[in-house]
Chains A and B, each alone.
Chain A
Amino acid sequence: MSARRDKTMSKTHVTTSVNGETFEFLAESRETLLDCLRNHLDLTGAKEGCGTGDCGACSVVVDGTLVCSCLMLGVEAEGKSIETIEGMADGNELHPLQRKFIEHAALQCGICTPGILVAARNLLEQNPDPSETEIRYWLAGNLCRCTGYDKIVRAVQDAAAEMRGAA
């Protein structure tokens, strides 16, 4: 499937799935996926911390792959399946990672939290029992300036243990 671009318009029509729902929007060719999520779909959970793919605050999952949404164009979302922080909880039922982040005080200001949660869930889907080192390297692309990462790593470890126990 390819995105439709009306010859009379400067914008491209994009149809994409976000958190299991179909969305349509008009993207300027220069707009990033992050711009489109935030400005066209009102999904402001993903944050722009750098715009250069260095901080991970904009992390989303596209067709199963963890990406920085600031490094992908909005028009590239055509036909893709995107998962954002807004879809992580099942209604009022938090994902274990979300719950453990609160319990462990794994956030201070919280601006990096959505990106880290999305990245951590992606890790646990591939590796349900990561070592501390594996967690640290997986999250090395997600900057947190408040916590020093200690409580984040512990929260991921604890959530992973709980999820393994529940499985």
Chain B
Amino acid sequence: MPKDERIPTSGLIGTRPNRPDGLDKVTGRARYGADFSMPNMLHAAVVRSPHAHARIVKIDASRALALEGVKAVVTRDDFPTGMTGETWNLQENTIAGDTALYDGHAVAAVAATSALVAGDAARLIEVVYEPLPHVTDVDQAFAPDAPAIRAGAADHSVSTDEGEPVRPNVMRKTEFGRGDVEAGFDAADLVRGHNFRTEATHQGYIEPHACVAQMGADNKGEMWVCTQGHWWIRRMCAAVLGIEAAQLRVTPSEIGGGFGGKTTIFMEPLALALSRKSGGRPVKLVMSRSEVLRATGPTASASMDIQLGMKKDGTLTAAKGVFRLQGGAFPGAPVGPAMSCAFASYNLPAVQHLGYDILANRPKCAAYRAPGAPMGAFAVESLIDEMCQELGLDPLEVRLKNAVREGVKSSYGPTYGRIGLVEVLEALKAHPNLSEPLGPNQGRGIAVGYWFNHGGETSVSVAIGEDGTATVSIGTPDIGGLRASIAMMVGERFGIAYDDVRVNVVETGALGVNEPTHGSRATFASGKAAVISADSCIKQMCKRAADKWGIDEEAVEWVDGAAQPAGANAGEFPPMTMKQIAAKMGSTGGPISGHHETNMGGVGASFGAHAVDVEVDPETGFTKILRYVVVQDAGRAVHPSYVEGQFQGGAVQGIGWALNEEYVYGEDGRLQNPIFLDYRVPVASDLPMIDTVIVEVPNPGHPFGVRGVGETGIAPPLPAVANAVARATGVRIRSLPLSPPKVLAAIKANARAKATG
């Protein structure tokens, strides 16, 4: 990139210091959700529906309550009525009302003096169910004759026009686009369209949800919880319980992974309700792994019809997509972002999107890393690859030919500002992996991906200590090195050492509302707010120096951690360091601190391109990843190691989604694989090293050029792996996962077709 695009820094940005929480985390001292305990604490267990869909006829807790050590049982009757909209959804998902909506849906909860007694008591709670017809598959749930999960709940977007079949589980219909798609297809040399399917996967964070909650009869409460966003936990818990948000103080623990899945509530209000009902004793509630898989939010499953027009030279002429996503028994599948990201990498004269948000008897979906983007990417990037094969075109050159650039109107509306897709594709083209020779049964797959990135509600404070060090209070939990990157940016701005900055993730009482660490926003938004807060401290420190020197405040500048006269005309004074100013602050006007809060603007979108080489065993259908490279625009990599880590982690989650991971439901509507043995996430021996290239096209909306890097990396792997498998085997599979039995069956069918054809 041109040199003048680089944002100069004095030394911290782009280095790789040790993270401040590293020592606690390698010694076992760091306290995660389940590591927190309180005196006089009770333990809770949850009774969950074994049925996919059932009317709850009766709940009898008398035998449980008779057990020694049992202190309280709660059911829906312990929660206020009259909720509407998303608050009702959250309450209903926290604990079932008249009807259990999915296998694992909470029906009752119990608190007792030990976890074992609580578990025993839960088994003694007798629930009488009347099973109802259920549906778990997205296409079956979309059908007009599907069992209705919530009749009459569709919003105004769902047409009731005559002639259109009534689809009882379609909650929302979204349609947008521009240009003349049919004319675009007419202008193409090749038009192809297919159905593509992706299965639901779970974020798979290793730490199950856990909290300790305490609330008295006065509805004043406290909670310690592993979450990506404690203000959202506060708001949601308060709404579901009908209490005032200000009366609930929520402190985040260290968090053992989230990937979007810990941005909402699942069981937290149950712990609060149990505490209140047991005389205000603290209640600890820790989910088991099977509870996590059955009853927290996986991602949606999707069925998509994609059609593309391409000229012989690879130019795309038009695109059309129908996106059907089920996000469980509640509205809110990520249909919007699936549509908006699907074609976002391409400069298209005409594009049309139609999306359906569909209910099914599955748990309420939650965000999962670039929610919606991987599904659309799988469909669109697979189809482009297939058309490149048919026209004999290089898939990377076709991406370059159609790539969006600054000033291009995106497929979903906005015109792009400074973006780096072309730079990313050029860097991928230059990567040595693409020159590696391929052997028999091996194939190379390439795909691109997009995520908007996000700003969001952000509130940050910076306070100067008496010794000239800085304490930064942020409200976005540190899920992968955030405190390091914030300390680097603040240290850089002040011109002080990295170790002279301490960053704390503070509780809900200490700052204004912060959205969670989600949307790839924390380093961008909390970082930007921290830098603006530091600037406010610098302004005050310059004033203290100006007052001391008896010169105008405007005549003082901040250089390398000290105030100094701005030029010869301002006067002759030696620089006054941050340490010197801080040491005197008590007598020169009092504490020095800075604060910034806003709905953060200036977001810079991030594109990525991945290339993977695979070898498929023709006898077993097993796919081995031979080499993998992630190229992505970070804007600016504050701490490159953690940027690389995001690239690598996203890629491997995507590889899991492509090859192994899926929610498997039986005919009975029960989840068949609710443990890690059967829900198989990638393990170390499945993988090679994951190569990375950090492209830096600075985001003009951030003081150091940061874009946000967490999410984009999970979109390209699904199609990249599928494209590689298609090229290795000569057969195109349009549904995930590419499990060995499925790949083997496709290889055999292809061989049979060739033999007979």
Contact A45 B675 (CB under 8 A): no
Contact A52 B683 (CB under 8 A): no
Instruction: Evaluate whether A45 and B685 lie within 8 angstroms (CB atoms) in the complex, with A107-B22, A109-B255, A112-B206 already known.
Output: no
Distance in Å: Cβ of A93 to nearest Cβ of chain B = 11
Instruction: Evaluate whether A152 and B684 lie within 8 angstroms (CB atoms) in the complex, with A102-B18, A113-B26, A114-B28 already known.
Output: yes
Task: Write the chain A residue with the least CB distance to B676.
Answer: A54
Of B600-608, B647-655, B663-671, which stretch is located at the interface?
B647-655
Chain B residues closer than 8 Å to A45, beta-carbon distance: 27-29
Tell me if A158 is interfacial: C-beta within 8 Å of chain B.
no
Of B31-39, B241-249, B315-323, B467-475, which stretch is located at the interface?
B31-39
Contact A31 B28 (CB under 8 A): no
Tell me if A80 is interfacial: C-beta within 8 Å of chain B.
no
Contact A109 B685 (CB under 8 A): no
What 0/1 readout, one digit per residue, does chain A (130-164) give for beta carbons within 8 Å of chain B?
Answer: 00110111011111111111111110000000000
Instruction: Evaluate whether A105 and B642 lie within 8 angstroms (CB atoms) in the complex, with A49-B206, A52-B676 already known.
Output: yes
Instruction: Evaluate whether A136 and B684 lie within 8 angstroms (CB atoms) in the complex, with A30-B116, A45-B27, A110-B256 already known.
Output: yes
Distance in Å: Cβ of B121 to nearest Cβ of chain A = 14
Distance in Å: Cβ of A97 to nearest Cβ of chain B = 8
Instruction: Evaluate whether A108 and B206 lie within 8 angstroms (CB atoms) in the complex, with A86-B28, A89-B27 already known.
Output: no
Distance in Å: Cβ of A57 to nearest Cβ of chain B = 6
Distance in Å: Cβ of B653 to nearest Cβ of chain A = 7
Chain A residues closer than 8 Å to B25, beta-carbon distance: 107, 110, 113
Tell me if A76 is interfacial: C-beta within 8 Å of chain B.
no
Chain B residues closer than 8 Å to A35, beta-carbon distance: 115
Instruction: Evaluate whether A145 and B18 lie within 8 angstroms (CB atoms) in the complex, with A49-B206, A49-B207, A101-B26 already known.
Output: no
Cα-based distance from A98 to B205 in the complex (angstroms):
22
Tell me if A84 is interfacial: C-beta within 8 Å of chain B.
yes
Among the listed B203, B206, B684, which residue makes an inter-chain contact with A47, where contact means beta carbons less than 8 Å apart?
A: B206
Instruction: Evaluate whether A105 and B481 lie within 8 angstroms (CB atoms) in the complex, with A146-B257, A152-B684 already known.
Output: yes
> What is the interface size of chain B, counting residues whose CB is below 8 A from a CB of the partner?
59
Tell me if B677 is interfacial: C-beta within 8 Å of chain A.
yes
Chain A residues closer than 8 Å to B28, beta-carbon distance: 43-46, 84-86, 88, 114
Chain A CB count within 10 A is highest, among B18, B21, B26, for B26
> What is the interface size of chain A, counting residues whose CB is below 8 A from a CB of the partner?
61
What 0/1 readout, one digit per residue, does chain A (1-42) give for beta carbons within 8 Å of chain B?
Answer: 000000000000000000000000000101100010010000
Chain B residues closer than 8 Å to A103, beta-carbon distance: 18
Task: Write the chain A residue with the least CB distance to B679.
Answer: A54
Contact A145 B641 (CB under 8 A): no
Contact B677 A145 (CB under 8 A): no
Tell me if A51 is interfacial: C-beta within 8 Å of chain B.
yes
Chain A residues closer than 8 Å to B646, beta-carbon distance: 108
Chain B residues closer than 8 Å to A50, beta-carbon distance: 289, 675-676
Cα-based distance from A150 to B651 in the complex (angstroms):
11
Among the listed B34, B205, B286, which residue makes an inter-chain contact with A145, where contact means beta carbons less than 8 Å apart?
A: B205
Tell me if A117 is interfacial: C-beta within 8 Å of chain B.
yes
Distance in Å: Cβ of B159 to nearest Cβ of chain A = 41
Distance in Å: Cβ of B720 to nearest Cβ of chain A = 14
Tell me if A111 is interfacial: C-beta within 8 Å of chain B.
yes
Task: Write the chain A residue with the least CB distance to B34.
Answer: A48
Chain A residues closer than 8 Å to B481, beta-carbon distance: 105, 108
Q: Which residues of B (426-470) have their CB < 8 Å from a CB of A?
A: none
Tell me if B30 is interfacial: C-beta within 8 Å of chain A.
yes
Among the listed B208, B479, B641, B687, which residue makes an inter-chain contact with A109, where contact means beta carbons less than 8 Å apart?
A: B479
Task: Write the chain A residue with the least CB distance to B36.
Answer: A44
Among the listed A52, A110, A113, A149, which residue makes an inter-chain contact with B675, where contact means beta carbons less than 8 Å apart?
A: A52
Tell me if B745 is interfacial: C-beta within 8 Å of chain A.
no
Contact A140 B684 (CB under 8 A): yes
What 0/1 readout, one digit per residue, does chain B (269-283) give for beta carbons within 8 Å of chain A?
Answer: 000000000000000
Contact B19 A105 (CB under 8 A): yes
Chain B residues closer than 8 Å to A137, beta-carbon distance: 684-685
Distance in Å: Cβ of B85 to nearest Cβ of chain A = 32
Chain A CB count within 10 A is highest, among B28, B651, B687, B690, for B28
Contact B256 A109 (CB under 8 A): yes
Distance in Å: Cβ of A70 to nearest Cβ of chain B = 10
Contact A148 B19 (CB under 8 A): no
Distance in Å: Cβ of B267 to nearest Cβ of chain A = 16
Chain B residues closer than 8 Å to A101, beta-carbon distance: 22, 26
Contact B479 A108 (CB under 8 A): yes
Contact A108 B684 (CB under 8 A): no
Task: Write the chain A residue with the least CB distance to B204.
Answer: A145
Distance in Å: Cβ of A122 to nearest Cβ of chain B = 15
Task: Write the chain B residue with the least CB distance to A97.
Answer: B26
Contact A105 B641 (CB under 8 A): yes
Among the listed B254, B286, B653, B685, which residue makes an inter-chain contact with A110, where contact means beta carbons less than 8 Å apart?
A: B254
Contact B676 A55 (CB under 8 A): yes
Cα-based distance from A46 to B256 in the complex (angstroms):
13
Task: Write the chain B residue with the least CB distance to A99.
Answer: B26
Cα-based distance from A102 to B646 in the complex (angstroms):
16
Chain B residues closer than 8 Å to A140, beta-carbon distance: 683-686
Chain A residues closer than 8 Å to B207, beta-carbon distance: 47, 49, 109, 111
Contact A139 B684 (CB under 8 A): yes
Tell me if B16 is interfacial: C-beta within 8 Å of chain A.
yes
Contact B208 A145 (CB under 8 A): no
Task: Write the chain A residue with the least CB distance to B205.
Answer: A145
Tell me if B559 is interfacial: C-beta within 8 Å of chain A.
no
Tell me if B288 is interfacial: C-beta within 8 Å of chain A.
yes
Cα-based distance from A14 to B232 in the complex (angstroms):
44
Tell me if B681 is interfacial: C-beta within 8 Å of chain A.
yes
Task: Write the chain A residue with the least CB distance to B202.
Answer: A145
Cα-based distance from A109 to B478 in the complex (angstroms):
8
Tell me if B349 is interfacial: C-beta within 8 Å of chain A.
no
Distance in Å: Cβ of B637 to nearest Cβ of chain A = 12
Tell me if B689 is interfacial: C-beta within 8 Å of chain A.
yes
27 A-B interface contacts by CB (under 8 A): A44-B28, A44-B31, A46-B28, A48-B286, A49-B289, A52-B289, A54-B675, A55-B289, A84-B28, A88-B28, A102-B22, A105-B639, A107-B22, A108-B642, A108-B646, A108-B649, A109-B205, A112-B206, A113-B26, A139-B684, A139-B685, A143-B206, A145-B206, A145-B257, A146-B645, A148-B645, A150-B689
Interface residues of A, Cβ cutoff 8 Å to B? 28, 30-31, 35, 38, 43-52, 54-55, 57, 84-86, 88-89, 94, 98-99, 101-105, 107-114, 117, 132-133, 135-137, 139-154
Interface residues of B, Cβ cutoff 8 Å to A? 16, 18-19, 21-23, 25-32, 34-35, 115-116, 203-208, 254-259, 286, 288-289, 479-481, 639, 641-642, 644-646, 648-649, 651-653, 675-677, 681-687, 689-690
| New A-B pairs, 5, CB < 8 Å, besides A113-B25, A144-B684, A146-B257 | A47-B256, A102-B23, A102-B26, A108-B645, A139-B683
